[in-house]
């Protein structure tokens, strides 16, 4: 049979080297031949409270094995679709990180994303803290313009404080400065935050559409999707703290009152149909603060579902 | 006074041997004289990812003591009913488990459930992984037919893989093969799962009614209850991963987007009125993954509430 | 600039002595000159199951630093208000606690609250178990009458059991006996509880308005607020177990089916407008049962938001 | 065969109700017919830092099941002895504890020990904090005189502070006041401690022999034993913090530089031969601070070995 | 420079796919070209108490990355040797495991070890529980005879109980039945154990040399080594519970009074010089019981040091 | 009485704001009037594996409260000395840390140490990772020469890798370049390490005395002390990973085979007598990896004992 239950290996989740979804490991970044390429960006020097997102890539890979036990694709009975069937996925390992050196570390991440783009694959970057989004967006400078959709508790729109411009509070401000970034949709932003009033005014002045979790619930998924420019090339950046601490406690700066699982999945499933998702990062999983594994499982489950829907939409 | 606050013992939750709800311990299974009998089934060799459900019975018993501090019954102010008042409950301890030997271990569980049925008591089995449902259902072979209501994230309808027929992915398929099982209602089934498309087709062909969490929310409790054949003898099997990982992280294979507490309680309270609940198992509590105790407390709280409603309905 | 990002210290959350929100530490209780004064009440000898609320004050202080990184006030983009701007807050440290001696410990807490009231500041007490509410309420004996609003899973209306009158199951009963307490609104009370039917009857006879989480959801925030006498002086007592275990597992006696974050915040924001909140305690955070920090972060986030709204309403 | 491996139950450690070493549970304290009787004393209101020793009895019972899988006795190949063979052990459950009420709680513990002594069995009390030693010693008032051997990091010789006389810093002072206590050997006492210089002077004046861990290592086991009066009736009180934090982190007040396993076992094995051990308590296991289980396993392993040697010596 | 610090990657421990010591991943077992080959054996159905050794291989691989940051070899300043320099190591991933099916799972492990032996490499197997030693030893049936050196707290010499012959209490008995096993040295065996007196007699009758930790300390390393037949082909099986729980709490059945780090390292360094170590397994690391990572770090540190000494001795 | 047990506050360890040993908090660094001043340096961007030492200062302060319950000084019965009696200690809070900016963060730490030296107090710095030693040593540039005594598992003598010169692997190399550093004694260095052979050769060439744990045990405390130049001004830098992982698992890069508690205490007690200890840092406590608190308690216990002995020696 196609999914090979009876031949080959049973391949239970706890068996085998932990690449993302047990996809082939491709250490040679000049040899990428795939639809999707996973890149780890274990950088967390930009963190302002609890560090540990450097262990995010390994934790997400480990959790992803739960969803990879010998199936060909992932059947969803509600949609009656077997997602990921035929999607060629590879894991590139991690960008090299130099402790105390943000600039070089970010450059290495950018190089990885560029290699994926050159190979014509969808880059999916596993953070690391949200500052890793900065080199990811830079890697798209030679590509067609993109619209960024952000899932996050925090606006991350600080320009500069005490000289810091590339910490995890700055990425959306940095993105807004890029010529190839056409617009920002910032969803889930709420409550006490690291961005002061000026940051919000700045973001709105630069064209951001900012919605809180409660505002999104009041609008409904369809109305929220309608606010995103249609038919664009979307870059999706998911800060795991956009989700509620009840399902994502393993993160640096949790904020209560966040998204639940299906709220985000339905929004992203709609986005995959509304245009083309051309890049993804998922950041701020700090596994040592959540020994239940719930946060890392969430990250893996969201990513696998979104990747599946991206390629289903492309058919 | 009846609840003995002033006489006898205060009996705070942390005091005393941890039987289920501090009910009497009856090691002699030929001497069961009770309305409800608790049986532990600490078997987890059928697990495909995180083991540890073998410690589920002890963890649930320990958590259950929180709800047992000197009261005669459990007063619910919303219903204005004191549940469990006068219900005679005993704890039989655990079925004997033989490591590496699934067959004998399952047979010992079956023997325990048969002893309870012979004594005319309601069997409530504490798992253990979901494979312990297989001997529980077998124990009803000489009883009147039953309809199974399952709360679960996963369909558990795999027939056989690599020769495995009695793991925790197989119980509902095994149940569907039994002559005394009239039907299955499978609630909470969702998202990426261990069952491939064929399993769903197989289940539906055999008469299963499969509903996801979102489908159940859209229908409402009453409409869902209406889909369950009325006036039947129900066997209730609760996989704790049917609940959301936010309240049940302590389990082998968590799946995001699950049930919240009152969603399940209201469904089961309705079920208790719609027919007769004649057997219960609650499985897959693996306490070492949830050191907060939340998962085990959930299991104990659900069980005590359901048992209370079963006997209130019988009056 | 006003919030001092470029001058002085960046003051990241993990930097500095952990007072509440990094407010000035005022060990001399005769020298309180502030709008709000924080007092720790690390007493947990009244606990009936899991102890450890004695570490609540330190954990809440530590978590509160997450919300205190160099801002002048906390900007909320949904309300377009910068809360806490200009509010003078101090931390008094903790009341002295004598192990095995409930009476003296409670007296020390009462003395602290009286010192705050004498200084004309809003007392905010960090428990400790819910019995610390007893001396807090006593401290208001010489003040104008108060109406108590309680957020809690449990009624805490036990009169006396085995001679115990000042444990964490007794505070609302004790409060109801005080001449200066005009009424009680008890919100979130649910399911299996430590209070038997007589306690509920007793509470209602003494004028309590008791509502469960589900009843409050069915009524809506406005209707619930309308049941609270208007224009009163409110004393707010928040037992963290009023919240759902998914976001507050770090507590002595969790109870499933509780409040979510915004449900409580919206209720308390409304209360701050409906009259004057003149005293607050938040109790039963037992941090060692929740190593993710989620519970303590919730406590800090709720308190900072409520304090902000209290003083915004006073303008 | 005698140990019943092939007949009856395999009885793996994780199977069955967790009484101490799976010995029979005897809830009726008037029906004790045994050589050894286990009594839980889950009292921890006397704790001065980290509470939680109330969960000590359950944790030690649970850990003790590791050493109880189907054997008749415990074979020690170094001694070539099968200890515990034929020793009749029962578990009485716990003394009733009244929160906020030290006096009554202690009285209940005393009543339990007296019941055991009346039945002619060896009392083995599982704490609870070290204050539970106070009622244990009181229970021997009508027995022949005893000499106390204490394993502990702290002297516990505080007379009274702020009125506290029955906290966990006071038991040895209280014991020294009893007429039936002939002497004290205090072993393991070290470093920064809760007892000031006056306490040491007081203890020595009352005849205590105080030795630190390093002093005991320098003397050697035999020389230490020689300092204990020979042929006496010994009461053994083991504070788990006498052991090093590397193997006993799960306790209220750990102190570095403590005993290792065999150091204590060899000392106690020698004591069992030097006279008659007539009572034992093991206190201050607070399991929630040690999620590895190491501390509780240590407590169970020490107790089972000591009990075995006590009865081997009596032959 | 040889160790490539300035060129190529810095390769910090937390960066990259977690193979053992970041050695190349060779999924094709017919293409092994190396001096050492690592094989995971994530099987734990033979466990009698705490399961979870199935996650041992991933945890040890993860911990091993700590010792692999860009060096060519591991310099030991005490020996003035750079171990592992030039040693070609590969990671084969894991043997396939079939839940509920011990026989097939063991057969898959045996196939992996045979593939390594066929390739002329040193097999190093990461367990899994100690039953995985059974197929490892079987894989040597066609090789020259071996002498087994075991580091363990338990004798593991049970013949059969309740029909179980391939659980984690049986491997040394099974080994003793193999024609190609010349002898057994069993070191670290101590205290209360799963093997009854008959097992010890049986083992000695079959030629085992059994020494406890204390006996080994009394003898000294050299004298212990002298008891092992010289010039043999040694198979080394290390149960992590041979070490003291203070450094190896993350295991199924900890036993107090175990080996410290250098005690074992010095013994194994001596063994590597006394003959040829031709196979190694390290078993019973159950990482979820030790969230500090200490146990897995110990396993990785021991293995890397032993492998280094094996190949240094071969020069 | 002098220690104020009966008057004032009992001041149990869990009560009060957590400054180091509950010493007065002095936020104004121009107002230091004390014998000892504590400075937190919560910087961990120099970490190469597990981050989190930024939470070290808070954890050590919290643990230090265990040793501060109302005593005047700390009585040590083995020495018959009440240490710390009359020593005036203050806590300055933390140096300001700028995320992503090592240079400014280090400068802020240096400024703090200089302020302490200017006030004539003994600086005691709580790390942070070991790179915080770099600014500490710099702060002594205008002081009389110092000899550095290091307790550590790792040599930390890397000159530069990939441009990194101020990470936690570089401090001793940086120190050796300073004109005011006369010599280095590096104790505890062992096994697999981050420093390659060249680093050791470099260190020895620059005059370092490097000893492993085993070498120190073989020599004995007195012989080791004799190798340290006598009558010097000693700067003491303690990396907590110099201790064994059994008592210090909460650190970034644990290394097995480390020092036990009294081994270090005796060495440092001797050092305090051999010359003048003029500065101390204790680094690499990363509390989130050790939820038992053992590591932070060790740090606090070592520091309080050493500070006590420093001032006892000065009398």
pLDDT tens readout for residues B260-315: 999 999 999 999 999 999 999 999 999 999 999 999 999 999 999 999 999 999 98
Mean of pLDDT values over A267-281: 98
C239 is in an annotated binding site: yes
Mean of pLDDT values over E184-199: 88
Q: How many beta-carbon pairs under 8 angstroms link B with C?
A: 85
pLDDT in tens, B154-210: 999 999 999 999 999 999 999 999 999 999 999 999 987 767 888 999 999 999 999
Q: Does pLDDT of C194 surpass 90? A: no
For chain D, list the contacting chains (3+ Cβ pairs, <8 Å): B, C, E, F
- Shortest Cα distance, chain A CAs vs residue F53, angstroms: 9
pLDDT in tens, A227-266: 999 999 999 999 999 999 999 999 999 999 999 999 999 9
d(CA C16, CA C20): 11
**From chain F, which residues contact C within 8 Å (Cβ)?**
9-12, 14-19, 25, 27, 40, 42, 54-55, 58, 61-62, 91, 93-99, 291
Contact F293 D191 (CB under 8 A): no
ipTM: 0.96
Q: What is the mean pLDDT of chain D?
A: 95
Nearest CB to B166: which of E51, E100, E162?
E100
Q: How many beta-carbon pairs under 8 angstroms link A with F?
A: 64
Q: How high is the pLDDT of residue C315?
A: 83
Q: Which residues of F touch A286 (CB under 8 A)?
A: none
Contact C51 D48 (CB under 8 A): no
Q: How high is the pLDDT of residue D196?
A: 84
Q: Does pLDDT of A7 surpass 70? A: no
F193 or E69: which carries more pLDDT confidence? F193
Reply yes or no: is the peptide bond before residue E157 cis, omega within 30 of 0: no
Contact C48 B82 (CB under 8 A): no
All structural domains of chain D: 20-314 (3.40.800.10)
Mean of pLDDT values over A212-227: 98
| pLDDT grade for D282, boundaries at 50, 70 and 90 | very high
Contact C99 D289 (CB under 8 A): no
Q: Does pLDDT of D193 surpass 90? A: no
CA distances E103 to E55, E99, E173, F24, Å, are 20, 10, 17, 66
User: CA-based Rg of chain A, rounded to a whole angstrom?
Assistant: 18
A288 is in an annotated binding site: no
pLDDT in tens, E239-284: 999 999 999 999 999 999 999 999 999 999 999 999 999 999 999 9
Q: What is the mean pLDDT of chain E?
A: 95
Q: Kindly report the number of other CB atoms within 10 A of residue E307's CB atom.
A: 25
Nearest CB to E304: which of F164, F192, F215?
F192
Q: What is the mean pLDDT of chain F?
A: 95
Average the pLDDT over each of C1-5, C28-32, C81-85, D83-87 and give the range with the smallest value: C1-5
Portion of chain E with pLDDT greater than 70, in percent: 96
C156 is in an annotated binding site: yes
pLDDT in tens, F50-83: 999 999 999 999 999 998 865 568 899 999 999 9
F130 is in an annotated binding site: yes
Q: How high is the pLDDT of residue A5?
A: 46
Q: How high is the pLDDT of residue E2?
A: 39
- Shortest Cα distance, chain E CAs vs residue B274, angstroms: 37
Contact A96 E58 (CB under 8 A): no
CB A274 within 8 Å of CB A231: yes
- Shortest Cα distance, chain C CAs vs residue A278, angstroms: 30
Torsion of CA A285, A287, A288, A294, to 10 degrees: 120
d(CA B275, CA A197): 59
User: What is the DSSP-derived secondary structure letter of residue B228?
Assistant: S
Q: How high is the pLDDT of residue F194?
A: 67
Nearest CB to B51: which of E54, E102, E131?
E54
**From chain D, which residues contact C within 8 Å (Cβ)?**
44-48, 50-52, 54-55, 98-102, 104, 131, 162-164, 166-167, 288-289
Contact C289 D288 (CB under 8 A): yes
Q: Does pLDDT of C47 surpass 90? A: yes
Q: Does pLDDT of F3 surpass 60? A: no
Q: How high is the pLDDT of residue F160?
A: 93
Helical segments of chain D, H only: 56-64, 102-118, 133-138, 171-176, 197-205, 213-219, 221-226, 261-274, 294-314
Structure tokens at A70: 């010998």
Burial category of A78 from C-beta neighbours within 10 Å (exposed 0-12, middle 13-18, buried 19 and up): middle
DSSP 3-state of E144: coil
For chain C, list the contacting chains (3+ Cβ pairs, <8 Å): A, B, D, F
Q: Which residues of E touch F253 (CB under 8 A)?
A: 66
d(CA A94, CA A295): 20
Torsion of CA B148, B150, B156, B159, to 10 degrees: 10
pLDDT in tens, C147-178: 999 999 999 999 999 999 999 999 999 999 99
User: CA-based Rg of chain E, rounded to a whole angstrom?
Assistant: 18
Contact B17 D94 (CB under 8 A): yes
* Closest to E293 measured CA to CA, from E35, E14, E34: E14
Average the pLDDT over each of A66-80, F80-94, F139-153, F210-224 and give the range with the smallest value: A66-80
Mean of pLDDT values over D45-72: 91
Q: Which residues of D touch B18 (CB under 8 A)?
A: 17-18, 58
pLDDT in tens, B281-292: 999 999 999 999
Structure tokens at C274: 């409906």
Q: How high is the pLDDT of residue E194?
A: 67
| pLDDT grade for D4, boundaries at 50, 70 and 90 | very low
List the single residue in F with minimal CA-CA distance to E81: F197
Q: How many beta-carbon pairs under 8 angstroms link D with F?
A: 86
Q: Does pLDDT of D7 surpass 80? A: no
pLDDT in tens, C81-107: 999 999 999 999 999 999 999 999 999
Q: Which residues of F touch E77 (CB under 8 A)?
A: 155, 189-190, 193, 200, 210, 212
Q: How high is the pLDDT of residue E1?
A: 33
- Shortest Cα distance, chain F CAs vs residue A231, angstroms: 37
Bridge partner residues of B151 (DSSP): B187, B238
pLDDT in tens, C51-82: 999 999 999 999 999 988 655 688 999 999 99
Q: How high is the pLDDT of residue B166?
A: 97
Contact C17 F91 (CB under 8 A): yes
List the single residue in E with minimal CA-CA distance to D305: E192
| pLDDT grade for E4, boundaries at 50, 70 and 90 | very low
Structure tokens at B76: 């619910």
- Shortest Cα distance, chain E CAs vs residue A94, angstroms: 5
pLDDT in tens, E114-134: 999 999 999 999 999 999 999
Q: Which residues of C touch B69 (CB under 8 A)?
A: 48, 194
Contact C97 F62 (CB under 8 A): no
Q: How many degrees, rounded to 5, is the angle at CA C165 between CA C160 and CA C169?
A: 80
Q: How high is the pLDDT of residue C70?
A: 58
Structure tokens at D41: 């004393």
Nearest CB to E164: which of B50, B100, B289?
B100
pLDDT in tens, A103-149: 999 999 999 999 999 999 999 999 999 999 999 999 999 999 999 99
Q: What is the mean pLDDT of chain A?
A: 95
d(CA D60, CA D41): 12
* Closest to C271 measured CA to CA, from C150, C95, C145: C150
pLDDT in tens, B200-258: 999 999 999 999 999 999 999 999 999 999 999 999 999 999 999 999 999 999 999 99
| pLDDT grade for E196, boundaries at 50, 70 and 90 | confident
Q: Is the dihedral of CA D263, D268, D273, D274 positive or negative?
A: positive
Residue with tokens 């304290």: D29
**From chain E, which residues contact B within 8 Å (Cβ)?**
44-48, 50-52, 54-55, 98-102, 104, 131, 162-164, 166-168, 288-289
* Closest to F199 measured CA to CA, from F233, F241, F171: F171
Mean of pLDDT values over D66-87: 86
Mean of pLDDT values over D106-128: 98
F281 is in an annotated binding site: no
* Closest to B161 measured CA to CA, from A6, E279, C273: A6
| pLDDT grade for D5, boundaries at 50, 70 and 90 | very low
List the single residue in E with minimal CA-CA distance to A293: E288
Which of E99, E102, E132, E290 to probe the B interface (max B CBs under 10 A)?
Answer: E99
């Amino acid at each position: 049979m196609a999914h090979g239950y009876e031949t080959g290996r049973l391949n239970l989740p706890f068996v085998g080297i932990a690449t993302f979804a047990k996809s082939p490991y491709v250490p040679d970044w000049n040899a990428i031949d795939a639809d999707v390429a996973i890149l780890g960006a274990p950088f967390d020097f930009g963190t302002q409270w609890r560090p540990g997102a450097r262990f995010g890539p390994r934790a997400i890979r480990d959790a992803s094995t739960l969803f990879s036990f010998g199936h060909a694709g992932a059947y969803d009975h509600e949609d009656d679709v077997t997602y990921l069937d035929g999607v060629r996925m590879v894991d590139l390992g991690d960008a090299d990180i130099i402790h105390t050196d943000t600039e070089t570390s970010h450059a290495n991440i950018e190089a990885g994303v560029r290699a994926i783009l050159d190979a014509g694959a969808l880059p999916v970057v596993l953070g690391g803290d949200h500052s890793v989004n900065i080199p990811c967006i830079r890697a798209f400078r030679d590509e067609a313009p993109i619209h960024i959709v952000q899932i996050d508790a925090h606006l991350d729109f600080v320009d500069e404080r005490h000289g810091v411009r590339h910490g995890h509070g700055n990425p959306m401000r940095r993105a807004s400065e890029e010529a190839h970034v056409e617009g920002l949709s910032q969803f889930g932003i709420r409550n006490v935050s690291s961005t002061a009033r000026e940051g919000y005014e700045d973001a709105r002045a630069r064209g951001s559409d900012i919605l809180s979790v409660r505002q999104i619930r009041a609008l409904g998924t369809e109305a929220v999707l309608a606010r995103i420019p249609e038919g664009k090339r979307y870059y999706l950046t998911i800060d795991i703290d956009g989700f509620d601490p009840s399902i994502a406690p393993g993160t640096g700066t949790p904020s209560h009152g966040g998204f639940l699982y299906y709220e985000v999945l339905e929004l992203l499933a709609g986005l995959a149909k509304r245009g083309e998702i051309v890049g993804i990062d998922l950041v701020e999983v700090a596994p040592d603060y959540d020994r239940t594994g719930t946060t890392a499982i969430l990250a893996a489950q969201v990513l696998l579902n979104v990747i599946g829907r991206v390629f289903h939409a492309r058919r």
